[in-house]
A and B are shown apart, each in its own frame.
Chain A
């Protein structure tokens, strides 16, 4: 049994991942904004085999509440072995371009709140000397593109933060996992027409659990995004700037 904290537990990818944890009898603490949906998910995970479920509500932009949420999870589960940070919003690029406030809000949600939680968790995990901090970043963080560079920049901050944190915690036996999903068919992307590149949350979830189990550092999900992003990262800037992506 592992004791697992999931932040952003009502997201489709987080819920699918939690089901895999539940099926193998882990203990889960679920954190998200909406208490009704949290309860529905916790009940489901209980039926599916989670030995214990706890829930607490948190708006991640309420930075002052981060400590209490982590404390509660530790108390409820009697310690933490794995944390999955999965919350996020797909920023509205057009709105961000017109509003600094909007851009800052997107950064608060997608970057700074994650960095805040990781800062708190890293010290605890460093002290306990084991565990996994798994964070859902995005392929969008690999290179800025005109269609969503605010979201991409926030995810880039998270990915870069994680790579530094990974070096630091390596010495303490704590694994830091950067998860980079491509297009996933979730409520967050409900409005996009789906092509062949789109993955199901269940498949991404399997990849997440596998990467956590194997102590991986960085995983693209599905795998082919590593190749796609390799190409996209290596297009010279003088060409890239002329492309509409």
Chain B
């Protein structure tokens, strides 16, 4: 057994000999075959490759925006060095492959926090920029890029540019949310935010309809830094749109042990463990778990921000066919009816999963041309991949979102028809001159070709 793994001289190729691997995005759909080259030195030129390449951080994008079937992936996790940190101002320079979790581990004991955190902390800084990620504080803090002083962009022709709102602002706007297609982000400088400790004061409020959700959300905007809601996507009829609204602020101080997670999904079950039956039962239990209309709790920041990070490889729970996530945003005026319509169609289909999230975005737009967040309400949910049935449902959701004048989030997408992408991101063609001619992704080919 061991013998097969021993290095063989005949296998050794000097230099960077890429290994071809089957890769899957976080949703485990679609699969892609690609060569992998790891970047380790931010000062070095990009390695040569045949065909097209795509920068790849920690692979937590759900769909094919992080795959490049038939091409090369430039893994950036080897670029994981801090460069400088000013503990007085919170300004951090680091390489693009540093994980947000690394920054949190390092910064929290010094009283600093990552100003925008998505639903997982296991993403790279480069990925956070390339997808211009948002978090539960979007209504207050905007997107990740709003806390960025700038970053260095390295192109396959060897050119390096410092990109910020004032220097090369056009390159900055193309690269923020630019899905890695404009070059490799080698390092970045960001501004952390002050906190007094890792604890959160959290409140959970029950709501019984989408309109009540929107009411609570706007009432919470001023006094709560973070807000997000879980919505029961299996509930229909009178219970349609019920859920739990979670709002929180950083606690002034606090002490205690960080929760330790030992849970993992050790293997991929042969079929999805999430199905209509388990979903309705589980959602009903979850909704009624809380007896009172409001519950207060002090929570460590990790379970508040990243409930799923505590279960390693949770994406396996959907079985070998994987899952697709659908995250859309619909404009404020029409949000209530559009979200109701979306939820009604999902509930009627019996698909969907426990993981369904609602959030009202703030008014701020980021500089990124392809940046997803815009004013309105965003709905995100997972669907176990049941083949045509699932994709047909998502097609009908597209019609609702398109009619409402909304948009779908590329970082989560694996199947959006190109015409919708071009409608949601009408400025997509202005990106063209900034694309690295040797870069491409499964997503980009799918929505533009």
CB neighbors of B among A73-120 (8 A): 90, 92-94, 97
Instruction: Select the residue from B7, B13, B84, B85 with max chain A CB neighbours within 10 A.
Output: B7
Min CB distance, B81 to chain A, in Å? 4
A59 within 8 A of partner (CB): no
In the complex, the answer to whether B7 meets A192 with C-beta atoms within 8 Å is yes
In the complex, the answer to whether A191 meets B2 with C-beta atoms within 8 Å is no
A1 within 8 A of partner (CB): no
Interface size range of chain A in the complex: 20 to 34
Min CB distance, A20 to chain B, in Å? 13
Chain A contacts for B40, CB-based, 8 A = 12, 187
CA distance A93 to B10 in the complex (A): 8
Which of these binds chain A: B14-22, B357-365, B383-391?
Answer: B14-22
With both beta carbons as reference points, the residue of chain B lying nearest to A243 in the complex is identified as B3
With both beta carbons as reference points, the residue of chain B lying nearest to A47 in the complex is identified as B82
* A 197-221 to B, binary, CB cutoff 8 A, 1 in contact else 0: 1100000000000000000000000
The verdict on A191 contacting B84 (CB below 8 Å), with A40-B43, A145-B6, A244-B3 known, is no
Chain B contacts for A243, CB-based, 8 A = 3
In the complex, the answer to whether B84 meets A43 with C-beta atoms within 8 Å is yes
Of the residues B3, B8, B16, B106, contact of A190 by C-beta under 8 Å: B16
With both beta carbons as reference points, the residue of chain A lying nearest to B82 in the complex is identified as A47
With both beta carbons as reference points, the residue of chain B lying nearest to A39 in the complex is identified as B43
In the complex, the answer to whether B43 meets A36 with C-beta atoms within 8 Å is yes
Min CB distance, B176 to chain A, in Å? 25
The verdict on A148 contacting B9 (CB below 8 Å), with A40-B42, A187-B40, A191-B17 known, is yes
CA distance A94 to B14 in the complex (A): 12
CB neighbors of A among B1-51 (8 A): 2-14, 16-17, 19, 38, 40-43
Chain A contacts for B82, CB-based, 8 A = 43-44, 47-48
The verdict on A93 contacting B9 (CB below 8 Å), with A47-B82, A191-B17 known, is yes
Min CB distance, B325 to chain A, in Å? 28
B83 within 8 A of partner (CB): yes
CB contacts between A and B, total, < 8 Å: 77
Of the residues A41, A48, A147, contact of B6 by C-beta under 8 Å: A147
CA distance A198 to B13 in the complex (A): 19
Of the residues A43, A183, A191, A228, contact of B83 by C-beta under 8 Å: A43
The verdict on A245 contacting B3 (CB below 8 Å), with A43-B82, A187-B40 known, is yes
Chain B contacts for A44, CB-based, 8 A = 81-83
A232 within 8 A of partner (CB): yes
CA distance A37 to B42 in the complex (A): 9
Instruction: Select the residue from B6, B17, B42 with max chain A CB neighbours within 10 A.
Output: B6
Chain B contacts for A192, CB-based, 8 A = 5, 7, 11, 19
In the complex, the answer to whether A92 meets B9 with C-beta atoms within 8 Å is yes
CA distance A194 to B7 in the complex (A): 11
Min CB distance, B18 to chain A, in Å? 8
Of the residues B12, B85, B95, contact of A90 by C-beta under 8 Å: B12
CA distance A244 to B78 in the complex (A): 34
The verdict on A190 contacting B17 (CB below 8 Å), with A92-B12, A244-B3 known, is yes
Chain B contacts for A41, CB-based, 8 A = 81
In the complex, the answer to whether A195 meets B7 with C-beta atoms within 8 Å is no
CA distance A187 to B19 in the complex (A): 12
CA distance A197 to B2 in the complex (A): 8
Chain B contacts for A36, CB-based, 8 A = 41, 43
In the complex, the answer to whether A183 meets B3 with C-beta atoms within 8 Å is no
CA distance A37 to B13 in the complex (A): 23
Min CB distance, B184 to chain A, in Å? 16
With both beta carbons as reference points, the residue of chain A lying nearest to B1 in the complex is identified as A197
With both beta carbons as reference points, the residue of chain A lying nearest to B38 in the complex is identified as A190
A160 within 8 A of partner (CB): no
CA distance A189 to B4 in the complex (A): 15
Interface pairs (29), CB distance under 8 Å: A36-B41, A37-B41, A40-B41, A40-B42, A40-B43, A40-B95, A43-B82, A44-B81, A44-B82, A44-B83, A47-B84, A47-B85, A47-B106, A90-B7, A94-B9, A94-B12, A147-B7, A147-B8, A183-B5, A190-B16, A190-B17, A190-B19, A190-B38, A191-B11, A191-B12, A191-B13, A192-B7, A195-B5, A232-B2
Contacts A44-B83, A195-B4 known; list 4 others, CB within 8 Å: A47-B85, A92-B9, A191-B17, A192-B19
Q: Which 10 A-B pairs have the closest CB atoms?
A: A93-B9, A44-B81, A47-B82, A191-B17, A94-B9, A147-B8, A47-B85, A44-B82, A36-B43, A195-B5
